[in-house]
Amino acid sequence: MQNVSVDIPTGVLTVVTGVAGSGKSSLINEVFQHQHPDAIVIDQSAVGVNSRSNPATYTGILDDVRKAFAAANKVQASLFSFNSKGACENCQGLGVVFTELSFFDSVKSPCEVCGGKRFKDEVLAYKLNGKSISDVLAMNVQQALEYFEIKEVVRKLQAMSDVGLDYLGLGQPLSTLSGGECQRIKLASELHKNGSIYIMDEPTTGLHMSDIGHLMEVINRLVDTGNTVVVIEHNLHVIKNADWIIDMGPEGGSKGGKVMFEGTPEKLLTAKNSLTSQYLRN
């Protein structure tokens, strides 16, 4: 960073651009984030390495679902947790068993007792609107939206749908998610907050163009409800939809770290020393 001083306006979408190594992450993830420790950071780091974690547990949906099952069947909510009383005793609620082999990696196979469903048979006998807890965890977000009427569950499911995760299984291990999916499920879990600062580090990574459209709708909604959104991004579709742009450069590494431009997308088109400006004009 070379004597950098920038203004980041509140209540709008600011996009920080520039070639790789130009100082975008240093400016936002190190300097700006240090000044605003309460900012909500959506990056590409894993949301969980625990094989027991899934979208239903991460978003808190499972807590409400367990309570609903318990109320409908007049039993304890802990029965509907594969980490507690309801877990299959053979696999301890993992749904798989591991066989150790000499000189080889252990082999993972579906549990013979529960068939990979994670729960005891007696738990699977309890139903909520005709579905067992295992049936619910086998649903994807879109199917769950059609099934549930619980207000808080529907709100969280809708947030995941809004960021393009309709296809994601509620019981799918978080360790199987891509970097882009991790970003979006983090974003979905934070969408209800207002008046906050959101920092997103290349949120379009790995996304299809249609999903980028979904993401822009979510970002615009965040701004419309009074949030400040700062995005580090290369995607031209996101850049041209920004309210304010900070372009770093001129190149990467020791040849970067300078502010090449600060202003609106329209004014960026006339910037002469910016590589981003060249691509945006094209």
Tell me the Ramachandran region of residue 255: left when phi exceeds 0, alpha when psi lies from -120 to 50, beta otherwise: alpha
**Percent of the chain residues past pLDDT 70, beyond the cut:** 96
Query: What integer is the mean pLDDT of 187-194?
Result: 75
Q: How confident is the model at residue 10 (pLDDT cuts 50, 70, 90)?
A: very high
pLDDT computed for residue 205 by the predictor: 76
Q: How confident is the model at residue 84 (pLDDT cuts 50, 70, 90)?
A: confident
Gap between the terminal Cα atoms of the chain: 29
Q: Is the pLDDT of residue 48 over 70?
A: no
**Percent of the chain residues past pLDDT 90, beyond the cut:** 50
Q: Is the pLDDT of residue 195 over 80?
A: no
Q: What mean pLDDT value characterizes the chain?
A: 88
Query: Which residues, other chains included, contact 148 with Cβ-Cβ below 8 Å and sequence gap of 6+?
Result: 65, 154, 157
User: Quick one: DSSP state of residue 105?
Assistant: P
Q: Is the pLDDT of residue 103 over 80?
A: no
pLDDT single digits (tens) 30-47: 899 999 999 988 877 767
Q: How far is CA 145 from CA 53, 151, 162, in A?
A: 20, 11, 12
Query: What integer is the mean pLDDT of 204-216?
Result: 78
Q: Tell me, yes or no, if the pTM score tops 0.75.
A: no
Q: How confident is the model at residue 192 (pLDDT cuts 50, 70, 90)?
A: low
